Structure 1
Amino acid sequence: MAKLKDLLKNIHTNVHGFEMKRQYSDPQIYTGGVDIKKWKTLSEEQKQAALKKNWYLYYSYRDPETNLLTRQQNIKDGVNWYKTKEERLEILEKYRISLSIILKNGFNPYIPDDDLLEDEKTILTIKEAFELGIKLKEKVLAEKPFATYESRINNFKGWLDKKGFIGQPITAITKKAAQTYLNEILNKTSARSYNDARSILSSLFEVLDSNDIIEDNFISKIPTLKSTPTRNKTYTQTIQEQIFKDLKEKDSQLLLFILFISYNFLRPIEVCRLRIEDIDVVGKRLYIKAKNQPVKTKIIPEILLRELPNLENKNKKHFLFTPNGIGEWVTKNEDDKRGYFTKRFNKMVKIPMNLGAEYGLYSFRHYFIGKLYQEFAKELTPFETKSKLMLITGHTTMSALEKYLRNIDAVLPEDYSEHIELSLMG
């Protein structure tokens, strides 16, 4: 037995005397300074503190000049955009396994021409890249634009799947593929839909470009198309009066919805957002979420105040308008809510009165702003008229209001027949 121990000792000594030193350390994951195995035992404050720190993959490689194991650059690759432990670990663990494999296969960070790691870590699949882009946009977009953004991206992803791009890397998407998709949208819908889709795709690829997921946002190089927006035609006084009269008898709730557009100059989607808590009857104030600012305060004119139902004992969180009156509305999609009242208006008004596509809920806003402008203009200068109107309509600049007034033909000249007659006489 003594001889066997001596033999093993001699072998151990000889092996360690001649073995080459290991060239790298095993890749490790840094998890914000906490033991990830004890995550469940951490307090919520400790978890959040860890998630606020950068998580990354790290390793060392032997420097050829010093022959010492030297810490290499940390690998993050956008992982800290994700806000949960599970998401970060899932990505970093994939990188750890991949890095271990290429290190075993001879990867050397000190040889620039063999920089396989950079290629490995930047190429995500289409699914992974799109998920990252959607998550990042969710942090900066409001609910409605984000819903539109996510829907358009998923539509493109669905198209890619049908075309055989399932499981492909994000680099498989070419400008030609994107252009083909946009052309199909143009053929099925309109130039406006084409431009909207192009804008959202470009926004996604810009995020991927800025995070080094792709090399170039080639979507931005696809030109936009000239499109003529559909304009809601202003009602005549006769049609407006007839609509109000009919709805007073047949659908008082829809009439009240329209009165908020007509008298408070809200957009239909802003009316859909109104909750009981947003209406201050005593102070005659209305608090709404506008498209370009978090909250906007407007007065409630007396003409509209008289039409409001009794709101005293109503739940403050309930919506003023739902399919069944004041109450909860299960759907959170504002486009669906606006769409419901648009369809209801079509059924109750447009179809019975045989009104064309150019007439809609927006037409009431145009009609009453035009009427108000003409009324102010009887006693005020054009500048005074527009200055007073700006406070009511919510336009933030004079030029924006002037453009709007031109579009709805609110500013019309006086009858110039006399001047024509004089010119003919001359």
Structure 2
Amino acid sequence: MLNFKQIITFAYESEYDSAYDLNTKKNFSTPKIYDANGDLSKRWYVYFSYRNPKTGKLKRITPFYGDANKYKTKEDRLQVLTQYRKTLLKFLQQGYSPFKDNSQLHSSLNNKTEKPVITLNPVKTEIKAVEDVIETTPIIEEKVEEPKMDIQKAFDFALNYKKQIVSVTTYRSYKNRIDVFLKWLNKTHPTIKNIDQLTKKITFEFLNSVLENTSARNRNNYRTELSSVIQVLEDNELIKANFVKKIPTLKTTPNRNKTYTQETQEAIFKHLEENDKVLLLFIKFISYNLLRPIEVCRLKIKDINIANKTIQFKAKNSPLKTKIIPELLWNDLPDLTQFNPDDLLFAGDKIGGNWDARLNNRRDFYSKRFKKNVKQKFDLGIDYGLYSFRHTYITKLYRALVKESSPFEAKSKLMLITGHLSMSALEKYLRDIDAELPSDYSEMLKNK
């Protein structure tokens, strides 16, 4: 039998095409290097998993050391292991398996090309041609130290991965919650140092503390984001499984922004017309263009097409969405040509300008301003906010449209205005805000 370990030790990186079919179930994990966090007194190695043909499950194969641990500098040791890793990956892609005799496969591939002698610099380790070192001894598995990553480094790795694929706001939310979790962990379980020590029980304990101090909704948000970050660790085989997925979500009753009555909405607009025109224009973008408050905060001067009277913005359900600006709103806009195209449309106390503040902070600025200038004056409860104007005007639009057409036709027209991606999503939204009400059914209740 051809010794799989010897092949990796002395073989060089061939140039054969990969025999691995991406449409089939992957038989092996990508080989990785374990560097013991830079500790040269410990063994460094390459490790990977391979699907056991009997069980059908991925099994961790004995890590491969080769001659790497003979070298006394990090650079030399890493260079050797990097070559081993490349060689191992190439052989796995060609079909070599630690669970079978590879002699026939090796012979067929070996006959295709003549293999040169490779020298690694600066280590200067000669890698002999594989045919010179074939042995018939079987693989002997040994117990070795599994790679144990520091828990802080593990979460830093996962967060850095997330940073590449999510928005700045989403990444910041992930990081803030992970920081809170690690701070709690350090305080309540100071002996936990490695990621493999983290358990479902400990995470459950943390989520219970969040529930006690805040709310079920906040607890669920922590659970969701912890699960998303820890999933990265599972995908990269830093942990065996994402145990957070097994923690149940608590049932909650979401807070809902109520719609304003016609009288209240008109009174608010009149009050702001006299006292805070910047906040009034901000609200009109929510009311007339049906944007969400955070979408309004993102707007820049260059996002408004003056010639076509349209606006482009990053929406909740789309990276870039275009809407018309209704005449009712367009007439309230100042001369936009006087501003720098990169200026924010809403820059604190003024229209147009630079504002060095994070997106969430800008949104909070207008929320607090609305609370101070409007909610306190009109004695509005917690159910009323900036978002309520969006609900109010979508309700107005739907009820006006349904007077002139069937409910389906009204919703079809409304979808173009609101930006909902599907009819079912719009219908759910209309139900949630009670925009769709039945006609009077008194006649049905009369005794006949």
- Does TM, normalized by the shorter one, top 0.5? yes
Partners of 2:327 and 2:159 lie apart in 1 by 45
Structure 2: which amino acid aligns with 1:114? K
Does residue 1:374 correspond to 2:318, yes or no? no
Provide Cα deviations, 1:34-89, integer angstroms capped at 9, x if missing partner. Answer: xxxxxxxxxxxxxxxxxxxxxxxxxxxxx79989964699996389xxxxxxxxxx
Is the counterpart of residue 361 in structure 1 residue 305 in structure 2? Answer: no
Structure 1 equivalent of residue 357 of structure 2? 331
Q: Structure 2 vs 1, CA of residues 69 and 354 (structure 1 numbering), >3 Å: closer, same or farther?
A: closer
Q: Deviations over 1:146-186 (max 9, x none)?
A: 11111111111111121243771111212111011100111
Change (3 A) 1:357 1:213: same
Name 1:200's counterpart in structure 2: 225
The percentage of counterpart residues that share the same residue type is 46
Deviation at 1:417, TM superposition (A): 3.3
1:170 aligns with one of 195, 199, 205: 195
DSSP-derived class of the 1:113 partner: coil
Cα distance in 1 between the residues matched to 2:368 and 2:411: 34
- Describe the SS at the equivalent of 1:338: helix
- Is 1:293 equivalent to 2:237 in the alignment? no
Is the Cα–Cα contact under 8 Å of residues 160 and 166 in structure 1 kept in the other structure? no
For residues 2-401 of structure 1, the aligned pairs below 5 Å read 70=10, 77=32, 94=38, 98-99=42-43, 103=69, 111-116=140-145, 119=146, 122-165=147-190, 168-325=193-350, 326-332=352-358, 334-401=359-426
**What TM-score does the superposition give when structure 1 sets the normalisation length?**
0.75
2:192, 2:198 within 8 Å by CA — same for their partners in 1? no
Q: Alpha-carbon deviation of 1:99?
A: 2.4
- 2:189 and 2:406 map into 1 onto residues whose CA distance is 64
Q: Measure the CA separation in 1 of the matches of 2:372 and 2:140.
A: 72
RMSD: 2.7
* Counterparts of 2:373 and 2:236, CA distance in 1: 51
Aligned with 2:209: secondary structure? Answer: helix
Residue 124 and residue 64 in structure 1: after superposition, are their counterparts in 2 closer, same or farther (change >3 A)? Answer: closer
Structure 1 pair 158–382 and aligned structure 2 pair: CA distance change class (3 A):
same
- SS of residue paired to 2:178: helix
Instruction: Give the Cα separation in 2 of the matches to 1:64 and 1:132.
Output: 32
Q: Name the amino acid aligned to 2:38.
A: K
Give yes or no for contact 2:284–2:329 (8 Å, CA) kept in 1: yes
User: What letter is aligned with 1:113?
Assistant: E
1:125/1:167 contact within 8 Å kept: no
Contact 1:78–1:211 (8 Å) recurs in 2? no
1:300-340 deviation line (CA, Å, top 9, x unaligned): 000000111111120111101121312112123x2222111
Mapped to 2, the partners of 1:64 and 1:355 lie a distance apart of 74
Amino acid corresponding to residue 136 of structure 1 in structure 2: Y
Q: What CA distance in whole angstroms lies between the structure 1 residues aligned with 2:202 and 2:158? A: 19
Bigger proportion of residues as helix: 1
Where does structure 1 differ by over 4 angstroms across 4 or more consecutive aligned residues?
A: 63-69, 71-76, 100-104
Q: Which residue of 1 aligns with 2:76?
A: none
In structure 2, the CA distance between the partners of 1:65 and 1:127, relative to structure 1 (3 Å rule), is closer
Over 3 Å counting, the alpha-carbon distance change for 1:77 and 1:128 in structure 2 is farther
**Correspondent of 2:439 among 386, 390, 414:** 414
Whole-angstrom distance in 2 between the partners of 1:234 and 1:65: 70
CA offset digits 1:284-315 (Å, max 9, x no partner): 10000112221100000000001111111201
Q: Give distance in 2, aligned partners of 1:414 and 1:94.
A: 73
Bigger CA radius of gyration: 1
| Residue pair 1:264, 1:300 contacting (<8 A) in 2 also | yes
- The letter of the residue matching 1:153 is I
Unaligned 5+ runs, structure 2? 14-28, 46-64, 71-137
- 2:312–2:323 contact (8 Å) kept in structure 1: yes
2 CA distance for matches of 1:221 and 1:274?
40
Contact 1:376 1:385 in 2 (8 A): yes
Q: Secondary structure at the match of 1:225?
A: coil
Residues 266-297 of structure 1 show CA distances to partners (whole Å, capped at 9, x for unaligned) of 00000000000001122110000112221100
